[in-house]
Amino acid sequence: METKDSNGNILNEGDSVTLIKDLKVKGSSTTLKRGTVVKNIRLTNNSAEIEGRAGGSVMVLKAEFLKKA
């Protein structure tokens, strides 16, 4: 199954994406701000999620809160 961003664009390994909404990080007091760019993403087994480096650490993010950069 294909991983799609909030606009319906297909995401691929190594793409860059931008957050479309402020996201609170579970288990941490940090918040990822809208407009943050996540570069060189990796796809996961779940088509609704991607993995990427944001806020200084590797995180799993929901594709519904991202748009292709």
- The 8 Å CB, 24+ separation contacts for 52-59 are 52/17, 54/19, 55/25, 55/30, 59/25
In the structure encoding, which two tokens stand for residue 50, read together?
């991607």
pLDDT score for 68: 96
41: closest CA among 8, 25, 5?
A: 5
> How far apart are the C-alpha atoms of 5 and 57, rounded to whole Å?
21
Give residue-wise pLDDT tens across range 11-60.
999 999 999 999 999 988 999 999 999 999 999 999 999 999 998 899 99
| Domains, the chain | 17-68 (2.30.30.40)
